[in-house]
Amino acid sequence: MKNPFETPERAAFRETVRRFVETEVKPYADEWDEAGEIPWELHEKVGALGAFGFGVSEKYGGLGFDDCFMRAAVSEEFAQCGANGIPAAFGGRGISIGPLEKLASDDIKDAVLADIVAGRKGSSLAITEPSGGSDVARLKTTAKRDGNHYVINGSKTFITGGMKSDYFVVGARTGEEGLAGISLFFVEKDTPGFSRTDIGRKMGWWASDTATLYFDDCRVPAENLMGDENLGFIQIMHNFNYERLAMIAGALGMMKVCFDESVCWARERETFGRPMIKSQVIRHKLADMSAKIDRTEAYLNHICWQANEGEMPVAEICKGKFSATKALEFCASEAMQILGGAGYLRGNLVERVYREVKVQAIGGGSEEIMRDLAVRQMGL
Ligand SMILES: Cc1cc2nc3c(=O)[nH]c(=O)nc-3n(C[C@H](O)[C@H](O)[C@H](O)COP(=O)(O)OP(=O)(O)OC[C@H]3O[C@@H](n4cnc5c(N)ncnc54)[C@H](O)[C@@H]3O)c2cc1C
């Protein structure tokens, strides 16, 4: 579908990412999926592409500018490898670099940001707790001021990249109950009182590690407070917008995989004496998939344009996320039906997409929470 916002720079950037995914990722995607990890060199190669540099100053190896169309292109093109656990494996960085750049002290940024942006070190965002992820305002982990330190106690779970990351952005309660008592902290993996365990096997995102983090009297210097005390909730919500935008784009990329694989198979496969693509039932499935892809793409482009204009269209992002994940669910299911038994074989592109559907619908704000937030943002 033609993108009215395309520019030569955006087209060239997308082409570079596409070629990278085609040659450096796709051929190994199934192998890495089965191994449950990606080689660390991939983090560095993706860093060299500039994919972690949006909104980050050139001083830290960033791009020195932001562009939501380019951000979306990275997520969409990486999703073409089917196994979305591969981009998720460096996704912890994607959701923690923004708060680090915006809120961390200059000393912390000077010490860590260049390594993170280059892919040499990993970073993760730790908000979700064992008691729940949807209701961020009720998080229980505490950070109590003690002289020149804060002492953090509590735990976080489902943290992407959590086993391999060196650095963490952690949400903790510094004040009253509710959203007005939450702050963000920078925590390093070697800080005494910090430990982590691997969550283990998951339905999808196989190549990405997911951890539970523990904070037992974990003392961090007071300058590790990121931004103003008790104003962390707003920052967390702002950051979610970029994560959700990336997840819409990832869903779009996977939908396109489903469509392309379906067309390819339906052309090749003969049933009842003719190629399946001649069957009206199959053609209708393809029409429905294509319409959902076009709608998602047009909506995503509109959101990117608004975000680039300096607006943060929260209601549209929420509506975009849940409608994209529902559309992905549809496309993955229809593609599996079109491929039949072949689609059900482990490692097949459609099989890999199928197992990524639910994490898109739950992570970064579930479909239910997205609907709720959308109507609240609409003043209802
Ligand atoms: C693979 C993976 C990676 C993740 N990575 C990270 C990460 O890096 N950092 C991080 O902080 N978090 C991460 N998460 C956590 C994710 O953001 C949460 O799973 C998500 O926000 C939902 O929280 P929950 O799982 O605790 O579900 P809950 O909040 O317990 O909710 C359970 C279910 O009930 C629904 N629900 C809740 N309340 C209502 C209601 N009032 N009405 C109707 N339905 C409701 C929710 O939509 C959800 O489907 C990750 C999760 C996964 C699965």
Q: 164, 43 in Cβ contact below 8 A?
A: no
Q: How far apart are CA 294 and CA 212, in angstroms?
A: 38
- How far, in Å, from the CA of 23 to the mean position of ligand 1? 34
Q: How far apart are CA 17 and CA 244, in angstroms?
A: 20
The CATH code belonging to domain 123-231 is 2.40.110.10
Told to judge if 229 belongs to the known catalytic residues of this protein, a careful annotator would answer no
The percentage of the chain sitting over the pLDDT mark of 70, rounded to a whole number, equals 100
Residue of 243, 334, 351, 356 with catalytic role: 243
pLDDT tier at 90, thresholds 50, 70, 90: confident
Mean pLDDT, residues 28-33 taken together: 94
Taking phi first (over 0 means left), then psi (-120 to 50 degrees means alpha), and beta for anything else, what does residue 201 get? beta
Mean pLDDT, residues 281-308 taken together: 97
Out of 155, 169, 369, mutate this one to test ligand 1's pocket (max ligand atoms within 8 Å of CB): namely: 369
pLDDT score recorded for residue 84: 79
- How far, in Å, from the CA of 16 to the mean position of ligand 1? 34
SS3 295: helix
> Burial letters for 117-151: b for 16+ Cβ neighbours within 10 Å, e otherwise?
bbbebbbbbbbbbeeebeebeebebbbeeeeebbb
The percentage of the chain sitting over the pLDDT mark of 90, rounded to a whole number, equals 96
Residues flanking ligand 1, CB < 6 Å: 92, 124-128, 132-134, 158-160, 202, 205, 210, 359, 362-366, 368-369
Task: Give residue-wise pLDDT tens across range 355-374.
Answer: 999 999 999 999 999 999 99
The CATH code belonging to domain 8-118 is 1.10.540.10
Q: 72, 300 in Cβ contact below 8 A?
A: yes
pLDDT score recorded for residue 3: 87
Mean pLDDT, residues 90-107 taken together: 95
Out of 125, 134, 170, 235, mutate this one to test ligand 1's pocket (max ligand atoms within 8 Å of CB): namely: 134
Ligand 1, atom 36: closest residue by C-alpha: 368
Ligand 1 atom nearest to 95, measured from its CA: 8
- Same fold yes or no, 8-118 and 123-231: no
Q: Global pTM? A: 0.97
- How far, in Å, from the CA of 359 to the mean position of ligand 1? 9
pLDDT score recorded for residue 262: 98
- How far, in Å, from the CA of 97 to the mean position of ligand 1? 21
Out of 203, 366, 370, 376, mutate this one to test ligand 1's pocket (max ligand atoms within 8 Å of CB): namely: 366
Q: Average pLDDT over the chain, rounded to whole?
A: 96
Q: 184, 123 in Cβ contact below 8 A?
A: no
- How far, in Å, from the CA of 67 to the mean position of ligand 1? 28
Task: Give residue-wise pLDDT tens across range 204-263.
Answer: 999 999 999 999 999 999 999 999 999 999 999 999 999 999 999 999 999 999 999 999
Ligand 1, atom 4: closest residue by C-alpha: 158
Q: 91, 158 in Cβ contact below 8 A?
A: no
* pLDDT reading at 83 higher than 80: no
Task: Give residue-wise pLDDT tens across range 119-164.
Answer: 999 999 999 999 999 999 999 999 999 999 999 999 999 999 999 9
Mean pLDDT, residues 190-205 taken together: 96
Question: What token pair was written down for 341?
Answer: 């038994």
When the candidates are 2.40.30.30, 1.20.140.10, 2.70.98.40, 3.40.50.11030, the CATH number that belongs to 234-377 is: 1.20.140.10
Give the start-to-end residue ranges of the domains of the chain: 8-118, 123-231, 234-377
Q: CA torsion 241→246→248→251, rounded to 10°?
A: -150
